[in-house]
């Protein structure tokens, strides 16, 4: 029987598989797809950096933990494109994959990690709302840095982006005031270019 510490060490090595899960966006300045581990690190750091911009009081460290845990199930089920109609089924796949990943851990360790994932997914606490807004913001910034490459490849329209990232306006109104005009200008340019 494994000790809790031994199970955690194995789990840490299993987390390396998140580095192999490709997303649909390219990191700024790079000509390759971002992986989910990079995304988790980047968005967790953004939680620490943008807390002053949040419209309500938020525990940035806790939000960072939510962001570090939220994509871990993708190790077992892959990333689902943000604009996919498959979001509900993806959530069920992620929940099942999470249970497989957490099964070898001691109950206390598994329940703590599961609670972080569930809090993010429920999007009900201030920290989860903040984390979800940041999770939606970063891919938009990446897309804008690459002239909307992923949006163009997948036929994503402005209305879809606004519907997906509109929560940024509620949570980070100052950021949204800067972002929305950039989105509108980008899509106006795309419309005129095609």
Q: Which pLDDT value is given to residue 193? A: 43
Confidence (pTM): 0.93
Q: Give DSSP secondary structure letters for 107-165.
A: HHHHHHHHHHHHHHHHT-SHHHHHHHHHHHHHHHHHHHHTTTHHHHHHT--HHHHHHHH
Q: Which pLDDT value is given to residue 120? A: 98
Rounded CA separation 150/157 (Å):
11
Q: Which pLDDT value is given to residue 190? A: 66
175-192 as b/e: b if 16+ CB within 10 A: bbeebbeebeebbeebee
Q: Which pLDDT value is given to residue 143? A: 93
Residue-wise pLDDT tens digits, 34-71: 999 999 999 999 999 999 999 999 999 999 999 999 99
Q: Which pLDDT value is given to residue 86? A: 78
Q: Which pLDDT value is given to residue 194? A: 40
**Which residue ranges of the chain lie beneath pLDDT 50?**
192-194
Q: What domains does the chain contain, in order, with CATH numbers?
A: 4-193 (1.10.3210.10)
Backbone angles phi and psi of 35, in degrees to 5: -105, 165
CB-CB contact of 83 with 90 (8 Å): no
């Amino acid at each position: 029987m494994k000790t809790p510490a031994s199970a955690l060490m194995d789990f840490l090595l299993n987390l390396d598989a998140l580095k192999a899960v490709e997303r649909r966006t390219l990191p700024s300045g790079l000509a390759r797809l971002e992986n989910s581990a990079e995304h988790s690190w980047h968005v967790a750091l953004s939680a620490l950096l943008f807390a002053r911009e949040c419209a309500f009081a938020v525990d940035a460290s806790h939000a960072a933990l939510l962001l570090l845990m939220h994509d871990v199930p993708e190790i077992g089920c892959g990333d689902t494109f943000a604009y996919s109609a498959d979001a509900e089924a993806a959530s069920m796949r992620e929940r099942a994959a999470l249970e497989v990943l957490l099964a070898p851990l001691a109950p206390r360790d598994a329940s703590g990690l599961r609670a972080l994932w569930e809090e993010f997914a429920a999007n009900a606490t201030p920290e989860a709302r903040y984390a979800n807004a940041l999770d939606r913001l970063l891919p938009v910034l990446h897309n804008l840095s690459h002239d909307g490459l992923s949006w163009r490849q997948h036929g994503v329209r402005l209305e879809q982006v606004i519907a997906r990232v509109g929560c940024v306006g509620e949570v980070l109104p100052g950021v949204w005031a800067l972002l929305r005009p950039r989105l509108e200008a980008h899509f106006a340019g795309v419309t005129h270019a095609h």
